[in-house]
Amino acid sequence: MANESSAREHWSGGLGFILAAAGSAIGLGNIWKFPYITGENGGGAFVLVYLLCITVIGVPVMLCEITLGRHTQRNPVGAFRMLNPPVSRLAHLIGLCMVTLGLVLLAFREWGWGVATLGLGLAVFKYGWVLVGGLGVVAGFCILSFYSVVAGWTVGYTWKAMAGQLNFTDIPTAEAAFGAFIVDPWWAIGCHAVFMLLCILIVYRGVRAGIERWSKILMPVLFGILVVLIVRGLTLPGAMAGVQFYLSPDFSKLTTNSILIALGHAFFSLSLGMGAIMTYGSYVGKNQNLFLSTLSIVVLDTLVALMAGLAMFPAVFAKGFNPAVGPGLVFQVLPTVFAHIPFGAFWATIFFILLLVAALTSGISLLEVVTAYFVDERKWTRHRATVVFGIVIFLLGSLCAISVTGWERLPRLHDVLVATFGSVKGSFFDVMDNLASNWMLPLGGLFISLFVGWIWGTKRAVDEIRQGSHNFADVHLISLLAGLKDDPGHNDPRHVITLASLWGIFIRFISPVAVLIAFLNTIGWLDLTKKKSAPPPPPPAIEQAEPAQESVEP
């Protein structure tokens, strides 16, 4: 489709969409977070649980998002506005619960929370499901504001690696250098600005010439670098211990908490719950197979997450460092590991380029959600929307950048928040992260599956998916798996067990319940973790490195 302002741009084909969406999904979550949470939660056992979560929740919800996007050809707000029913009893019920909760909170003099909950409840009555789309756009602002700060660190570390400044002899030196780096406002804001500028430049060019073109260049680069790093790591003497640590299943380390971590991470890693994938889905043509695209994106995302661990742990073990350091793994342990390997500066440079590439293709998808909203709904030009909101997010992110470790630099904002909400956990950076990752994404995912399952209806969704994929809805699952879908005897139209029917059950029942349980647990209203996770883990065999910094965890 052409670039005319009236016609909506589309991907040039299936590959363009898959690579762009995989680019959104593959990000810091895969390369930085997945390896260390796997390391901390039982290696292979955790990988199994994670695979289960993405199959049961990730695939169905992603298919919902892509289907909503392609059907409506709109940004998340426009999509829900188009499909929002005039009256929704479910929405009214949710609104009523929130209004009641708001009033109860006010009665207990929780003014900030009370007003916020009451206001949101009333908004549910006014806007209905459109609010879910709005939540996505707001989440885009919040996530990109802290994500681009961490991405900025990768810009800075790429630079430092090239300049040979990451030559740390031991972990404490690396930690001190990292600590000094992230609190230096010039570095933090400067690097964050460079990253935002790159995002703006790509999104500015549009869907095909910007996002698709760059995803097609950057994703193979990312893959190539990962393979090179894996080969380098695995060929170091003593590397196999790392593979064993990473992948051998240790079910004793698996707690209920690990399962919830896996579920939460599945959302973040697949970019679900805030409309990024929905927005990308809105540029997909009608002839494309949505189910296979979904599977490809999920498989690529998981593959890269697994490969990232294989690129790191063998090298960490080979050089005798402790792998269980949590968030500090990438910025503290790895540079030290590389410093002990021949041509370390080169390896460190390509590693940080890898991280930057991964972050960039995710960053552009976050900016695209905001841009698409202002282009579709407010009739702004793409250029104006990209530049204006790129700058707004840069400013919001600058607040995160200067307050990564605490509120010293933002005392006024801190006072206002404390006066309104009673107390604030963590820094401004943590507040943004917590708000987006623990509240907005799970709630967004929950409401998206409820909306498709119960309001818009699986029937209409399946009609949309059918375009481009008959096998999804019209072929008996058993015949499909057996390769007999074209056999006349197996083509009885009364067949009911199809991929579509399975998906419908997941979307209506399993995904919402699982997400709700995980959400209630994260916000502390349901504590499933106490009994099982009570015994402290045995001390690791290798010398324990410094505890990881809480505040660097998006």
Tell the smallest beta-carbon distance from residue 268 to ligand PHE (Å): 5
Assess 271 for contact with ligand PHE (CB under 6 A): yes
From CA 270, how far away is CA 21, in angstroms rounded? Answer: 9
The dihedral sign for the CA sequence 290, 451, 128, 264: negative
Piece of 24-32, 190-198, 479-487, 507-515 that binds ligand PHE (CB under 6 A): 24-32
Assess 226 for contact with ligand PHE (CB under 6 A): no
Which of 41, 117, 154, 269 binds ligand PHE (CB under 6 A)? It is 269
Piece of 8-16, 21-29, 174-182, 410-418 that binds ligand PHE (CB under 6 A): 21-29
Assess 268 for contact with ligand PHE (CB under 6 A): yes
Q: By CB neighbour count within 10 A (0-12 exposed, 13-18 middle, 19+ buried), where does 378 fall?
A: exposed
Look up residue 208 and give its DSSP letter.
Answer: I
Assess 306 for contact with ligand PHE (CB under 6 A): no
From CA 525, how far away is CA 520, in angstroms rounded? Answer: 5
Which of 19, 25, 337, 500 binds ligand PHE (CB under 6 A)? It is 25
Tokens of 260: 């919830």
432: number of Cβ within 10 Å? 25
Number of residues counted as binding ligand PHE (CB under 6 A)? 15
Write each residue from 327 to 366 as x if it is in contact with ligand PHE (CB under 6 A), else as -, in one continuous string: -----------------------------------x--xx
Assess 30 for contact with ligand PHE (CB under 6 A): yes
Distance of CA 282 to the CA centre of its chain: 19
Give, for 360, the enclosing helix (H) or strand (E).
helix 344-376
From CA 355, how far away is CA 226, in angstroms rounded? Answer: 10
Give the side-chain half-sphere CA count within 13 A for 145: 30
Assess 152 for contact with ligand PHE (CB under 6 A): no
Tell the smallest beta-carbon distance from residue 511 to ligand PHE (Å): 17
Q: 98 vs 202, which CB is nearer to ligand PHE?
A: 202
Assess 27 for contact with ligand PHE (CB under 6 A): yes
3-state secondary structure of 100: helix
Assess 50 for contact with ligand PHE (CB under 6 A): no
Assess 62 for contact with ligand PHE (CB under 6 A): no
Tokens of 240: 């196999």
Give the side-chain half-sphere CA count within 13 A for 238: 7
Query: Which residue in the block uniquely carries the two structure tokens 């230096």?
Result: 184
From CA 56, how far away is CA 46, in angstroms rounded? Answer: 15
Assess 302 for contact with ligand PHE (CB under 6 A): no
Tell the smallest beta-carbon distance from residue 366 to ligand PHE (Å): 5
Q: 189 vs 278, which CB is nearer to ligand PHE?
A: 278
3-state secondary structure of 182: helix
Tell the smallest beta-carbon distance from residue 404 to ligand PHE (Å): 18
Question: Under a CB-based contact definition with an 8 Å cutoff, are residues 245 and 39 in contact?
Answer: yes
Assess 29 for contact with ligand PHE (CB under 6 A): yes
The dihedral sign for the CA sequence 185, 188, 191, 196: negative
Assess 24 for contact with ligand PHE (CB under 6 A): yes
Tell the smallest beta-carbon distance from residue 439 to ligand PHE (Å): 13
Write each residue from 363 to 382 as x if it is in contact with ligand PHE (CB under 6 A), else as -, in one continuous string: --xx----------------
Assess 445 for contact with ligand PHE (CB under 6 A): no
Assess 80 for contact with ligand PHE (CB under 6 A): no
Piece of 54-62, 229-237, 269-277, 403-411 that binds ligand PHE (CB under 6 A): 269-277
Buried b (16+ CB within 10 A) or exposed e, 126-138: ebbbbbbbbbbbb
490: number of Cβ within 10 Å? 16
Gyration radius (Cα) of the chain, Å: 23
Piece of 25-33, 227-235, 450-458, 510-518 that binds ligand PHE (CB under 6 A): 25-33
Assess 157 for contact with ligand PHE (CB under 6 A): no
- Which residues of this chain interact with ligand PHE, rule CB under 6 A? 24-25, 27-30, 143, 268-269, 271, 274, 276, 362, 365-366
